Structure 1
Amino acid sequence: MVRITKISFYIACIIGSIVAVWHFFVPYSSEWFSYIPDAPTEIIQSINYINFCFSFLLAGISLLLIIVQKKLFDGSKELRIFYAFFTLVWLSRIIIQLIWPWPSSLQLWLVVAFSMEFIFALIPMIYLLKNTGKQ
């Protein structure tokens, strides 16, 4: 079980990193701003700032979790809380996707993708919760 848990952990963190790096470029590759050609500069910059902060934070959290994974699996309470937040982020992404569906054929793909990422993140979380205090 420990092997599956750690593999799932690495997959979740690597996917988080990939999504983060991809998001640095997606506004330009998907031409986000072509949908709002008359938007004031403040709106464009706000979208840029939010996207940059999201990408930077997700990349940082994912990479930091990989760096501290030994201490996390050794039982650090603070790192379990940090990892629980990472898992909660992906759960919230699924909930948002269901409440405010994506207005295109990508909706199903997005729900499936975010659900798979959440499952990869959840497996280690369950392991960490079950093994709290056993170290």
Structure 2
Amino acid sequence: MNWPHIRRLSIVMRALEDATIEIEGAFETSGQRTRLLTTLVDDIGDAVKPIIVGKMEQIRSEIEDLKSYYDLESITVSSRHHISTKLAILAIDLTECLSQYLRSYGEVPEAERALLDERISRLEALVNDIDRLLGSDQ
């Protein structure tokens, strides 16, 4: 296989590995921070959970086999870079929530514009504060 084949395989295996961690995390809800805009309903039977976790282990084992067979490289990701990238994406998404950018969904009522923009701007400022803290901690 050529380098682009290996690269694509590595990317998909990394995404699959991330998904297994996220799926297993859905079973470990006690003591974790709760979400404000998503409510996870535990509608998976207790008898099925260990089977799913076992399948996740099998998936990880298959990933490990592929990694070994095709000599897939592990990447090293800086926490600072990982978090900073997520924050940059969030900053863009937040900017697009300002009233002037929401027009493509219909005009935001005049009475709501200032309040919405103020709230979104506060969130943007917090996200930017975190990003600056990451940059100053070098």
Larger radius of gyration: 2
Is the TM value for this pair above 0.5?
no
Higher relative contact order (Cα pairs below 8 Å, separated by 6+ residues): 1
TM-score, with normalisation over the residues of structure 1?
Answer: 0.38
